[in-house]
Amino acid sequence: MRQLTTFIMALTLCCSAAAKSGRHRTSGNPILPEFHADPEVLFSEQTGRFYIYSTTDGMPGWGGYYFTVFSSADLTDWRHEGIMLDLGTDQVPWAVGNAWAPCIIERKTDSGWKYYFYYSGHNPKNNRKAIGVAIADNPTGPFTDHGSPIVDALPEGQNHGQQIDVDVFQDPASGKFYLYWGNGYMAGAELNDDMTSLKPGTTTLMTPAGGTLQDYAYREAPYVFCRNGLYYFLWSVDDTGSPNYHVAYGTATSPLGPITVAADPVVLIQDADAGIYGPAHNSVLQLPGRDEWYIVYHRINPAYLAKDKGPGFHRQVCIDRMTFNADGTIRRVRPTQEGVAPVKVKQRKR
């Protein structure tokens, strides 16, 4: 019996080692433990590491009230770096919860590195969602909130929707910074140099018109990046609790549009045969100095697909490669269970 027990323990250790070795071949999906959603990915030139910020999920009614950050050296092994902003404390004086859908940008200033973290929270003064900003010298914090929302009202000409799902982008052509946001509409505006206010007169309604729930009808979650001088705008279609929740895109020749919807607009959509549902609300990562791209997104945990189990707030963060055709159009991404292989990034001197 003792020999059998020893054999079983040895076999278990062997299998564990093999599994660990296999895990290092690819990241596996999901890449973060437990429930997270609305992921924002950042490569920090200061630290040479990757970071993911997200909505803390798994709480009824999207009731998460704090943000966490995870870091990785290679996109496969992710380390929990802790809570970096807590709307349940006096750290954020204007918001009481609904800590949703953040974004972040790294900026080199005369005084050193700065990180501007934009997010949405519930403002009890007017009983609606608003967008705030917190600032730090390191990607994991500590972050100090600006003290008041940066966006707290619908754009002029828009009569419905929420001020959530924020994205921040630096135009490589001009060096200017832009903010994008909106559920039910898409808006964009240039940021002032302080990064905590919008430049007057620049707020622009950019909502892509038309489409259906099967292709590109805009719902939420704008995300912007630039490749070869062309501006790409990605957004999410349908409801976040729907298996059909997916990513569509269009392009423009300037950071504030107008947007031309792609001829084949679907970037990422469910694969029921593979047990993958509702893959959307994404961010995009380009490896520094390389034309190598990744899409980071959330999907619904398949054990929570039934409406009474809360599919909209039982989501998990995943990563897959994103590639382009020769004409610059985005090839449809195949969502996987395997994820991506480890990457190595050489830091650029600045």
Catalogue the active-site residues: 38, 220
CA 147 vs CA 2, 58, 95, 181, 198: distances in Å? 64, 28, 10, 20, 15
Q: Tell me if 99 sits within 8 A of 65, measured CB to CB.
A: yes
- Write the secondary structure of the chain as one string of H (helix), E (strand) and C (coil): CHHHHHHHHHHHHHHHHHHHHHHHHCCCCCCCCCCEEEEEEEECCCCCCEEEEEEECCCHHHCCCEEEEEEECCCCCCEEEEEEEECCCCCCCCCCCCCEEEEEEEEEECCEEEEEEEEEEEECCCCEEEEEEEEECCCCCCCEECCCCCECCCCCCCCCCECCCCEEEECCCCCCEEEEECECCCEEEEECCCCCCECCCCCEECCCCCCCCCCCCCCEEEEEEEECCEEEEEEEECCCCCCCCEEEEEEECCCCCCCEEEEEEEEECCEHHHCEEEEEEEEEEECCCCCCEEEEEEEECHHHCCHHHCHHHCEEEEEEEECECCCCCECCCCCCCCCCCCCCCCCCCC
85: CB partners within 8 A, 6+ apart: 66, 67, 91, 92, 99, 117, 119, 134, 141, 143, 145
d(CA 244, CA 49): 33
* Residues 104 and 41 sit within 8 Å (Cβ to Cβ): no
Check if the beta carbon of residue 301 is closer than 8 Å to that of residue 316. Answer: yes
